[in-house]
Amino acid sequence: MIIRKSQAELGKMRRSGLLVYQVLHSVAEMVSEGVTTMELENAAAKMIADAGARPAFKGYYSAAAGNRYPFVLCTSVNEQIVHGMPSTKNPLKKGDVISIDTGVQLDGYFGDSAITVPVGEISASLQHLLDVTKNSLEMAIDKVREGNRLFDICSTVQKYVETNGYSIVREFVGHGIGTALHEEPQVPNYVDKNNENPRLKEGMVLAIEPMVNLGKPASKVLSDRWTAVTQDGSASAHFEHCVAVTKDGPWVLTRP
């Protein structure tokens, strides 16, 4: 069942979304050669606590992993697609790219967003991957309009990404969001004929998150049971926003 939100509920989600934005972009400013992902984690945890919010990811139970996620951030470097875990080891290196994903619960409602950040100067091919992934999200956001269908979003991402020569991760998808971090519907970044294709209605909120690989689409999960990486070792990029369907068009809740 897809839960539609009232204006008052969207207002609460907006506050959660803006906190996520502030955390992500403050942490992104810390990204540089020699910084560890645990330093980013500690800064984000403090910001979330100081705001009186609860981290959405820390303590989140995954049946597939068989345990609870132990951090407030997912920090996925280079070939890591999603759910990379912060560490004091392997400081960031010039030329790396890092996806930073986080969520919060504030006043009962969730916000969730992700960005991929270069570490210093990166190769032209990596920069193009980041640009295409980010552009695909912006194009998808424009489809979040009353009367459109879910597949309008999915096909927009898929067509743009694949036309540019990149591949879409199949195993991980976007989602509805509200009083739970993950609500219906699932939001794949490709057209999945086995998926529902609901019509978009006012009050729906979707977390749209293209995950795009430089190489082939296949992924695998490492022995920590969380970190997803590309099977071929190619780099991956990930951007995410929470977007509400309104009478006036898409409202991105996770940016000013």
What is the per-residue pLDDT across 3-40, written as a single tens digit (0 to 9) for each? Answer: 999 999 999 999 999 999 999 999 999 999 999 999 99
Q: What's residue 194's pLDDT? A: 87
Question: HSE on the CB side for 188, CA within 13 Å?
Answer: 17
The helix or strand, by DSSP H or E, that contains position 25, with its residue range, turns out to be helix 7-30
For residue 41, is pLDDT > 90?
yes
Q: What's residue 172's pLDDT? A: 97
237 in any annotated domain: yes
For residue 251, is pLDDT > 90?
yes
Q: Taking the model in full, what pTM does it have?
A: 0.97
Q: How confident is the model at residue 195 (pLDDT cuts 50, 70, 90)?
A: confident
> Which letter does DSSP use for residue 64 in this model?
T
Tokens of 253: 């809740």
43-57, pLDDT tens digit by residue? Answer: 999 999 999 999 999
CATH of the domain at 135: 3.90.230.10
Calculate mean pLDDT across residues 195-222: 97
Domain span holding position 244: 7-252
1 in any annotated domain: no
Q: What's residue 115's pLDDT? A: 98
Q: What's residue 45's pLDDT? A: 98
2 in any annotated domain: no
Task: Name the domain count of the chain.
Answer: 1
158-189, pLDDT tens digit by residue? Answer: 999 999 999 999 999 999 999 999 999 999 99
Mean of the per-residue pLDDT values of the chain: 98
Q: What's residue 75's pLDDT? A: 98
Q: Please give the sequence-ordered ranges of beta strands (E in DSSP) within the chain, or none if there are none.
A: 54-55, 61-62, 67-68, 73-77, 80-82, 97-106, 109-118, 167-168, 174-176, 183-187, 205-208, 211-213, 219-221, 228-230, 236-238, 241-246, 249-252
Please provide the distance, in angstroms rounded to a whole number, between the alpha carbons at the two ends of the chain. Answer: 29
Q: How confident is the model at residue 239 (pLDDT cuts 50, 70, 90)?
A: very high
- Provide Rg for the chain, Cα atoms: 17
* The 219-221 sheet, strands edge to edge: 80-82, 228-230, 219-221
How far apart (Å, rounded) are the C-alpha atoms in residues 156 and 132?
Answer: 12
246 in any annotated domain: yes
